[in-house]
Chain A
Amino acid sequence: MTTPSGGIPWRLLRGSASAVAGASWLAVLILVAAVLPVFVTEAANHQDLALRFEEPFGTGHGIAYVLGADSLGRPMLLQLIVGARTSLVVAGLTVAISALAGFAIGVLSGYAGGWLDTVLMRLADILHTVPSLLLALAVLYVLEPSITNLVLVLAITRMPVYLRTARAQTLELRERVFVESSRSLGATNARIMTRDIAPLVAPTIRTLAMLEVANVILAAASLSFLGIGLQRPDVDWGMMVADGRSYLASAWWVTVLPGLAVLATALSASILSNWLRAVEDPTQRGAFLSRSRRPAGAKA
């Protein structure tokens, strides 16, 4: 059986170089994003037009400008640090909210069945079909663009994935013998859901969530590209990539560096989740995918 609490077997990490690299990148990033922005935000947002497109790896202007400056002469390094916080907060919160909500609703839906299940699943279908762009425009228009609202929009659009996955697994688990025995021992439905089923669904959701980190960072970047993301002076990596795109030919670092940051982070999250899946019980591997979208009532 898989480690029921979803605990990560750190000892095994040493076996995989790419997993170590991914984990270290994420760890350093989280640390940097948690600690540094408080000290550097002001300097990061300070424009100095005299330093517009200062080339990277120069030495004349101090460590802040080691990665060059952007189109308004802001230090790229500091912008990346502040952007890291926003990107991680947006990605982290979005994934956490959508995963937890999707997880809870999915387990409830799958366990309860009946009309509740039908209603919740139709809602998920509907959310899945409304283009996220329209939702983004409407929400950001009515509620003003802010990190909170961006998270809200992204969380709503990403939730159905978790909901379906959790539900499909619950559908199967609730027929298992140990659930029956819990029930015959007099356990309440709430107890069965939280104690018996949820712990078995959790690892699947966790794997999925780590894969989604990349998706969310990219989705936020696409919104910035279309002009409906955050507003300056808030900055995230996606916005930096989008803003710098017109200088691709003349000042590559303005868009390539944040692009690489997105890439490295998304890659690290994917590698880690891959690795986690690999070290876990082989029978769990890939199972979530095969069950996530089976039609209701089409169980074997």
Chain B
Amino acid sequence: MTTRTSRRIAAFAAVPLVFLAACSGQGPGTAAGTDLTIALAVEPVSLDPCDTQDATNAVVLRTNVTESLTRIDPETGEVVPFLAESWEQVDPSTWRFTLRQGVRFHDGTPFDAAAAAASINRVLDPELNCQNLDQFPYPLTATALDAATLQVVSESPDSILPLRISYADIGAPATPAGEKTSSPVGTGPYRFAERVQGQSVTLTRNDDYWGQAGQATSVRYVYREEPSVRAGMARTGEASIAVPVSVQDATDDDRTREYQDNRVFFLRTSTEKAPFTDPRVRRAAQQAIDKQTIVGSLMERTGTPFDQIVASTVNGHIDGFTGPAFDPAAAEQLLRAAEADGVDVRAPIDLVTRPDLFPGSDEVIQAIHQNLQSVGFTVNILSLDTDAWLQLLRSPFPPDQKATIIAISHDNISGDASFSFPKYMAGDGSNSTIRNPEIDALLAEAEQAGGAERAALYQRAAEIEYRDVNAFLPIALQSKLLMLGPGIEYQPNSLTGVELSVADIAITTG
């Protein structure tokens, strides 16, 4: 019934256009030969190797154009060699990396320790305002000991430096030191060819690549904001890969692939504004949300109900921990108790989100809104654009701001909680509304520790948050979908969102 009716509508809408189409005499192009087209949602903002923290930039550059000394293995989450063959910790704040020999940049200059040092130090130049600087909270200095040995000294001990260094994409020595570049030169299997702003970025195969070369001779990235158009491009073969696609555009066959990028969707309450000043009220908000139903029916393949703010691959994840169950009666009771103690539980709250948080997020937020309203909160949905949303996400918060619940989709592909917890839980964290000395102490201690001890400390901090503070309302562990064009084979992994290696794409026909 559904399809027949929509066909009829199609026929109605199509009449005047078929004529025009017939005149123009051209059908849709196909991704012919070994030139790939990848349809992305957003255009990369910067092509500078030092701006790859932003996934929109990284997905084009990382492991295609630029490479780093170390990388994270998408299967195991371990830090593995990449442009560095091995490394050792000389003392608590000094690491030495032995670099791969015989690698050349796309412009022909050899890759050596001096080039690596220059590239890493460039990231740390505050004047340059690199996005990747965010991953290096402590000042550090890289120096070349000899052509193949790089020494990195950090100002304070850093047990996860090899992991951190995976965020420093290495650009050629020719990269300007004092300004950003828009034509990156790296060591990767594809070289940057052309960028037409607002339209596309093209990479061509680097035939002198040191590792396993890719099958495709070139790849063109195009940007399509509308999810259904993106998916349509893969279905018609106009694109080799469309990423991401939304659930309603997904197909049931093997063309739609699912992948996890360790991304968690959670809400953050403003603990310093009534009614969230009272932990009982925050607990009530948690119990008011029926995440099983909401996630199950609205997010479908793209989410699983979740009780923590980091995925199980992150060392701060507590195995086996479950949060309070959905219980609106208990929530109402908690609110009444708080109200009896003088908390203004009816104070108006803004439920802040942005339309592009994830595909379909607006509906999920509306469902949560209804849950919160029905236990007695006074909630108002506020859907903002990214800039306005950021104003409310990051401290310092506007002083005249109402109580807010802000929707956050946070990914941590590193496996280390230091890329999540200090930001969201520490008293001085940029996105934190938590002021808890105990958590602060644990986080500070964890920073200095390594291995199992570090993990245990992070988990203890998380446990205090989840049990006593309750500033977060975790909702779902997210998955993403991508769609493959005809004759394309690619198996996404946990890093696909930030490094879609073109060399891993196989062309089975054509």
Residues on A facing B (Cβ under 8 Å): 45-47, 49, 52, 55, 71-72, 137, 141, 144, 227-228, 231-233, 243, 245-252, 256
Contact = CB atoms under 8 A, between A and B. Distances in A.
A226 to B, nearest CB: 9
Contact of A247 (B248, B297, B367): B248
Nearest to A231: B381
Contacts of B293: 49
A4 B367 CA distance: 54
B362 interface: yes
Interface in B353-372: 355, 359-360, 362-363, 366-367, 369-370
A252 B297 contact: no
A249 B6 contact: yes
B294 A49 contact: yes
Looking at chain A's contact residues, the main secondary structure is loop
A232 B381 contact: yes
A141 B384 CA distance: 8
Contact of A246 (B6, B246, B370, B388): B246
Nearest to A245: B228
B363 A227 contact: no
B1 A55 contact: yes
Contacts of A49: 293-294, 297-298, 367
A131 to B, nearest CB: 16
A45 B370 CA distance: 9
Contacts of B228: 245-246, 248-249
B496 interface: no
Interface of B: 1-2, 5-6, 9, 227-228, 246, 248-249, 293-294, 297-298, 355, 359-360, 362-363, 366-367, 369-370, 380-383, 385, 388
B246 A232 contact: no
A19 to B, nearest CB: 25
Given A141-B388, A227-B383, A232-B369, 5 more contacts: A55-B1, A228-B385, A246-B228, A248-B6, A250-B248
Given A72-B363, A243-B362, A252-B9, A231 B382 contact: yes
B299 to A, nearest CB: 11
B232 to A, nearest CB: 10
A51 to B, nearest CB: 10
Given A72-B363, A232-B381, A252 B5 contact: yes
B367 A227 contact: no
Contacts of B2: 55, 250-252
A52 B297 contact: yes
B6 A227 contact: no
B27 to A, nearest CB: 21
A72 B363 CA distance: 7
B302 to A, nearest CB: 13
Contacts of A256: 9
Contacts of A243: 362
B249 to A, nearest CB: 7
A227 B354 CA distance: 9
Contacts of A252: 2, 5-6, 9
B47 to A, nearest CB: 27
A246 B366 contact: no
Contacts of A141: 385, 388
Contacts of B385: 137, 141, 227-228
Contacts of B383: 227, 231
B9 A232 contact: no
Contacts of B380: 231
Q: In the complex, which of the residues A46, A49, A52 has the most CB atoms of chain B within 10 Å of its own CB atom?
A: A49
A71 B1 CA distance: 18
15 contacts: A46-B370, A49-B294, A55-B1, A71-B363, A141-B385, A227-B385, A232-B381, A246-B227, A246-B248, A246-B249, A246-B359, A247-B248, A249-B6, A250-B2, A252-B5
Contacts of B362: 232, 243
A231 B385 CA distance: 13
Nearest to A71: B363
Contacts of A249: 6, 228, 248-249
Nearest to A70: B363
A228 B293 CA distance: 29
A227 B362 CA distance: 10
A47 B367 CA distance: 7
The 3 tightest CB contacts between A and B, nearest first, are: A227-B355, A49-B297, A252-B6
A228 B387 CA distance: 14
A47 B366 contact: yes
Contacts of A250: 2, 248
Contacts of A227: 355, 383, 385
Contacts of B366: 47, 72, 232-233
A231 B362 CA distance: 10
Contacts of B388: 141
Contacts of A72: 298, 363, 366-367
